[in-house]
Amino acid sequence: MKAIATTILACLLAATAQAQQPAGRGRGNQEPGPTITVRGHTFTQLSLFQRNVGGPDDMTTPFPPHKVIGNIYYVGTKSLAVFLIVTPQGHILINSTYERNVPGIQKAVEQLGFKFSDVKILLGSHAHGDHQEGDALVKSLTGAQVMAMAEDVPALEAMKPGGKPHPIDKVLHDGESVTLGGTTLVAHLTPGHSRGCTTWTLKAEEGGKSYDVVIIGSFGTNPGFKLVNNAETPRIADEFERAFKVARSLKCDVPLGSHPGMYNMTEKYSKLASSAANPFIDPAGYLLEVDIDEAMFRAVLAEQRNAAPSAR
C-alpha cells in the first residue's frame, strides 16, 4: 500500500508541475534537486515544491474558512490559497484555483456569512492553472471584473478549461492600485515563477492598529524550471532577481501566499482560538520565506550553470 501511495503522489506531483509550467518554465522534472538549509529549515528543490502543493487530495480538500486579520478571510483548500477581502461596496477575491474547486470556494464564502454574488473583483497570484483556471466560472457566477498583470495575459488567454475563453476585463501594470470600498491593494510585479507573477500588498486594521499585509505571488523555483539557456525566456534568472529585490523592499507584518505552506497557515490556524495575539502577524516568517526561496533559486541557478558553463 505504501508503494502504491508513493506512486500516486509522484504522479500527482508530476501532473501539478505540468499544470504550473507555462512555456519556458520546464515540464515537471521530479529529481530531488539541490539542497538548502536556512535557519534550521532544510529543503530539496522537490521537497519545497511538495511543501506547497501538499498531498494527493490537498489541492481540492477545503480548509476551514476563517478570518485572517481585519477584513481578510481565507476561503481556499489545504494547499491552494484563496483570499476574500470584504468591503462595504462588495468583495475582492484573490485566486480561483482549479475550476472544480469553485463550488467549494463559494461554500466557504457563504459559511463566513457573505454572499458569493457580492464578489466584484477577481485578482490572481500568477498564471498557473492551480491558481487561476477557475476565473471564467467565478466571473459567470458573480459578474466580477477579472484583472490581471500584463505580463501574465498571454498565459491566461491560453488557459481555457472546457474551451471557455479566459476573461480579462482590465490589464494591470506594476505598481497599479485596485480599490474597492475603502480597501486598496497594490500590484507588485515579482516575475520568475511566471512572467506576470503578482505579489499583492494592502493594509489591514485590527485592534486599533494598522498592519502591512503581503500576499506572495510565488518566489518558487519549481522542479523543471530552466534558468540557464532558456530559449523561450532568456532572462528568466534576471526576472527572479527582480522578484527578490522587490520582495525585500516590501514592509510586511502579515505574510500570506498563493500556497498556505508559504506562511505556515495550518500551524497558525491551530493557534487562533488559544492565542491572545493574532498568530498571522509574523514579520519574521515573511523574511524566512523570502530567504528560503532565494537560497533555493541560487542553488538551482548554480547547479544549472555548472552543468552548462558556456551559459555564463
Q: Tell me whether residue 14 is in a domain.
A: no
Segment 23-40 shows an average pLDDT of 77
Residue 32: give its domain's CATH number: 3.60.15.10
Domain boundaries, position 121: 21-311
pLDDT score recorded for residue 11: 45
Q: Tell me whether residue 10 is in a domain.
A: no
Q: Tell me whether residue 12 is in a domain.
A: no
Provide the CB-side half-sphere exposure for 276 (13 A, CA).
Answer: 0
Q: Tell me whether residue 86 is in a domain.
A: yes
Give pTM, 2 decimals.
Answer: 0.92
Q: Tell me whether residue 298 is in a domain.
A: yes
CA 162 to chain centre: 23
pLDDT interval class at 28 (50, 70, 90): low
Distance CA 123, CA 191 (A): 16
Report the number of distinct structural domains present in the chain: 1
- Residues 96, 137 contacting (CB under 8 angstroms): yes
Q: Tell me whether residue 62 is in a domain.
A: yes
Query: pLDDT, tens digit, for every residue of 128-141?
Result: 999 999 999 999 99
With 90 as the cut, is the pLDDT of residue 56 above it? no
